[in-house]
Structure 1
């Protein structure tokens, strides 16, 4: 049985309660949208942390919280742990949003160019570079457009498709406490590096510092080489770990400062 500390227990209860009342409308309103989206609201930098897309999503995050969070809260105290949790979560959201802005701005410029000169070759290149996950469902249209590249209807339909794909991508919200949780995991590895943890898959013991190194390397690789079908916000995970590393190192350098 896990021994839950006060802040961890409160965060767990809040996340579970919100999960049971979450619907598509709430996710659209309070999930984190791109800075380029008309639906972006600064409050989403905070509210997205209490939303989850499914049972497995919230289950994995809350397991991370109740396994690694209590020791940190007991070591730091409730106030410092609470600050740390939200610092990592919001920091993760900012890094994710920055990367998303860079990626989506590139898509936006491609869409703008296509609006000025719509043709099959450019459409095909757009699909390959920015929308390969849509390819299978658009095969009939793509074949028709390829065989009839000057047909005005195909050109107009291609413009509508490109605009719709861009709108779907820029308005897709990011949800979850993963950034904060990965920050908690990073801090645990930094504060208690030689603590032995027993993994379920595979069922072997591993020191906390090696687990953190594995997670970090995996998330960096997955973020850089992320496929379009991968809906995991890897850069949010990286952001949580990065902000955790910075804050823990800062606190360790200020040993005379206490909450």
Structure 2
């Protein structure tokens, strides 16, 4: 892949610095910069951007930063810095939007069940935002409904994965015949098959609501926006020279 391109290099630096910062300043930085549900007391508007630079553990940041370097570098070499960063952040915003939309569905499903007992929406949010809940809620709806409600409201999203999925889609568009491998499945697979398989896996886990600790619909959102942008650019023969490097 050669040396680091400018955009990728700066993204790597910011991600690593904030990862170190979380260990130095603890939960406060995590609380400020992770993406909370928009009705949670911890939500701030800048989290739509800042969550892309936060990570939940060493392996999380290692895999994301490796993917950013491996797949982002060849794209930036072709596109230039500004076009690459536009694409990267667009995919990240798409990831946040779909993730929040899915959480909105789960929160409202739980709310509608609990409000039926006479308790107000504000009272419910006050209880849940403190990390608490009432065992009686499980008598008003299924366990999955209540658990999904609690998780959607109280679990912040972190990571560059949504933007990375957009990058993967773009890589598959531009280098469809390149052969890629999964660590746990060391079989070469062409990018045009590899990336859709990854997205299919996220869709399956997302729709079956399996608790994997991964924001699967954020991945799908990043991939979807990446696909839309690539399709539009290809269809309209996007003029790369319009972007300053």
Q: Answer yes or no: same fold by TM over 0.5.
A: yes
User: How far has the Cα of 1:254 moved from its partner?
Assistant: 2.4
**Corresponding position of 1:104:** 107
- Contact 1:51-1:175 at 8 Å conserved across structures: yes
Aligned counterpart for 2:76 among listed residues 58, 73, 77: 73
Aligned counterpart for 2:50 among listed residues 24, 47, 50: 47
Tell me how far apart the structure 2 counterparts of residues 73 and 3 of structure 1 sit (CA, whole Å): 12
**Corresponding position of 1:17:** 17
Judged with a 3 Å threshold, the aligned counterparts in structure 2 of structure 1 residues 255 and 51 are, in CA distance, closer, same or farther, namely same
Judged with a 3 Å threshold, the aligned counterparts in structure 2 of structure 1 residues 204 and 250 are, in CA distance, closer, same or farther, namely same
- After TM superposition, the score normalised by the length of structure 2 is 0.84
Tell me how far apart the structure 2 counterparts of residues 129 and 203 of structure 1 sit (CA, whole Å): 35
**3-state SS of paired residue (2:36):** coil
Tell me how far apart the structure 1 counterparts of residues 29 and 164 of structure 2 sit (CA, whole Å): 22
Tell me how far apart the structure 1 counterparts of residues 173 and 191 of structure 2 sit (CA, whole Å): 8
Q: After superposition, give the CA deviation of every residue in 1:108-159 in whole Å (9 maximum; x if it has no partner).
A: 222222345xx988634546233459xxxxxxxxxxxxxxxxxxxxxxxxxx
User: How far has the Cα of 1:169 moved from its partner?
Assistant: 4.7
Tell me how far apart the structure 2 counterparts of residues 231 and 88 of structure 1 sit (CA, whole Å): 21
User: How far has the Cα of 1:18 moved from its partner?
Assistant: 0.6
User: How far has the Cα of 1:198 moved from its partner?
Assistant: 4.2
**Corresponding position of 2:125:** none
Task: Output the aligned Cα RMSD.
Answer: 2.4
| Equivalences for residues 168-247 of structure 1 within 5 A | 169-227=152-210, 229-247=211-229
Tell me how far apart the structure 2 counterparts of residues 110 and 246 of structure 1 sit (CA, whole Å): 36
Judged with a 3 Å threshold, the aligned counterparts in structure 2 of structure 1 residues 214 and 170 are, in CA distance, closer, same or farther, namely same
Q: State how many pairs are aligned.
A: 225
**Corresponding position of 2:94:** 91
- Contact 1:27-1:173 at 8 Å conserved across structures: no
| Greater CA drift, 104-113 or 211-220 | 104-113
- After TM superposition, the score normalised by the length of structure 1 is 0.79
User: How far has the Cα of 1:106 moved from its partner?
Assistant: 1.0
User: How far has the Cα of 1:202 moved from its partner?
Assistant: 2.1
| Greater CA drift, 27-36 or 196-205 | 196-205
**Corresponding position of 1:130:** 145
User: How far has the Cα of 1:32 moved from its partner?
Assistant: 0.7
Aligned counterpart for 2:233 among listed residues 251, 256, 259: 251
Tell me how far apart the structure 2 counterparts of residues 179 and 96 of structure 1 sit (CA, whole Å): 10
Aligned counterpart for 2:61 among listed residues 58, 62, 70: 58
- Contact 1:114-1:123 at 8 Å conserved across structures: no
- Contact 1:2-1:67 at 8 Å conserved across structures: no
